[in-house]
């Protein structure tokens, strides 16, 4: 607590342009000085940020962080790996590259993220291999890493997604990052993965949801195929994607899915139809009047939920 209070005090004095604090910093523990400048740099932008980054270099902050990322506790290494993103000197980059081999997965990923933010990620596939990401890796940090990597080259991330040796968790984290970027060129990549995946593959519904989030009509073949899957999770994800994309060509199949044996599929189909405009709304109304008992129930419930009169 005392450390945090002291750090905040130093930050405020530096922000206020207090000249005496610089002399005081020379007598303080290097770790406290580093902590102070890291917080300070995060608070400012533009020329002020550049000035404080330069001052941090004068006080040996990058060197202290490099030492910390190599020899500190797991928490200290993690914080240092994040903080080194603020510095682009050779020693900082070298320390981050060393941290890719850290025993702690979070430290490795934080180091990779800092390298990517500084444009120093290098070969993405090699970096991911060195990170030793597990098959269940889908953390926010992993997605953020791929977003930063994509900023320096979307094609590298696409290649990683398509590489046969890329595990499912890493592939989905990379896909999620590209979806967030709004780059439509990723649609054919995800569509091919969806079309070539076995219908029982656990990643297939996630591919279809990703295509729905992008919302580009080029996903039509994969979505139409998913609507006829024998796996209810795939049918539901495909129905959701059809609605998001506005696939009028899927309307007939969506009407059929209003009578699906699975409630969740019926719900998604009705929801999708309402997103297809006047024709879709009329189809739901007709199902509410003339459909099978299951179809009538699904259609009526969706109309009532969206306050659309039957």
Mean per-residue pLDDT, 81-90: 88
Most confident of 129-143, 182-196, 251-265: 251-265
Query: What 3-state class would DSSP assign to 288?
Result: helix
Structure tokens at 131: 């990170």
* Residue burial 19-30, b: 16+ Cβ < 10 Å; e: rest: eebeeebeeeeb
Q: Lowest-confidence range among 16-20, 180-184, 204-208, 218-222?
A: 16-20
pTM of the entire predicted model: 0.71
- Tell me the pLDDT tens digit for each residue of 103-132: 888 898 888 888 888 887 777 777 877 777
Greater pLDDT, 286 or 45 = 286
Domain 185-310, CATH among 1.10.10.10, 1.25.10.10, 1.10.275.10, 3.40.50.1820: 1.25.10.10
Greater pLDDT, 1 or 209 = 209
Does the structure show a pLDDT above 60 at 135?
Answer: no
Query: What 3-state class would DSSP assign to 27?
Result: coil
Q: What is the 3-state secondary structure (H, E, C) of 126-153?
A: HHHHHHCCCCCCCCHHHHHHHHHHHHCC
Does the structure show a pLDDT above 70 at 136?
Answer: no
pLDDT confidence band for 8 (50 / 70 / 90): confident
Mean per-residue pLDDT, 177-200: 88
pLDDT score for 152: 67
pLDDT score for 95: 92
Nearest to 302 by CA among 260, 259, 271, 279: 271
pLDDT score for 286: 95
How far apart, in whole angstroms, are the C-alpha atoms of residue 22 and residue 59?
9
pLDDT score for 94: 92
Mean per-residue pLDDT, 52-59: 86
Nearest to 256 by CA among 217, 299, 223, 218: 299
How far apart, in whole angstroms, are the C-alpha atoms of residue 224 and residue 138?
27
CATH 1.25.10.10 placement within the chain: 185-310
How far apart, in whole angstroms, are the C-alpha atoms of residue 118 and residue 11?
24
Q: Are 28 and 2 in contact (CB under 8 A)?
A: no
How far apart, in whole angstroms, are the C-alpha atoms of residue 63 and residue 171?
35
Q: Lowest-confidence range among 11-20, 42-51, 263-272?
A: 11-20
């Amino acid at each position: 607590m005392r450390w945090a209070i002291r750090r905040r005090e130093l930050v405020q004095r530096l922000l206020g342009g207090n000249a005496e604090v610089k002399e005081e910093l020379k007598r303080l523990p290097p770790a406290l000085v580093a902590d102070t400048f890291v917080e300070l740099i995060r608070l400012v932008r533009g020329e002020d940020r550049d000035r404080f980054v330069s001052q941090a270099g004068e006080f040996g902050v990058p060197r202290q962080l490099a030492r910390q990322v190599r020899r500190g506790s797991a928490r200290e290494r993690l914080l240092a790996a994040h903080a080194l993103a603020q510095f682009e000197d050779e020693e900082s980059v070298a320390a981050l590259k060393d941290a890719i081999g850290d025993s702690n997965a979070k430290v490795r990923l934080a180091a990779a993220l800092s390298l990517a933010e500084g444009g120093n990620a290098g070969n993405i596939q090699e970096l991911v291999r060195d990170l030793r990401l597990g098959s269940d890796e889908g953390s926010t940090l992993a997605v953020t890493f791929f977003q930063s990597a994509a900023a320096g080259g979307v094609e590298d991330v696409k290649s990683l997604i398509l590489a046969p040796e890329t595990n499912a968790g890493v592939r989905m984290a990379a896909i999620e990052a590209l979806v967030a970027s709004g780059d439509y060129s990723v649609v054919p990549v995800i569509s091919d993965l969806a079309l070539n995946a076995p219908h029982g593959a656990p990643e297939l519904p996630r591919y279809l949801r990703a295509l729905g989030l992008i919302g580009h009509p080029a996903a039509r073949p994969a979505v139409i195929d998913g609507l006829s899957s024998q796996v209810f999770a795939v049918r539901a994800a495909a129905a959701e994607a059809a609605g998001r994309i506005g696939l009028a060509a899927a309307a007939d199949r969506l009407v059929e899915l209003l009578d699906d044996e699975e409630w969740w599929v019926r719900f998604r189909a009705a929801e999708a139809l309402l997103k297809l405009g006047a024709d879709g709304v009329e189809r739901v109304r007709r199902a509410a009047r003339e459909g099978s008992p299951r179809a009538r129930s699904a259609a009526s419930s969706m109309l009532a939920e969206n306050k659309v009169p039957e």
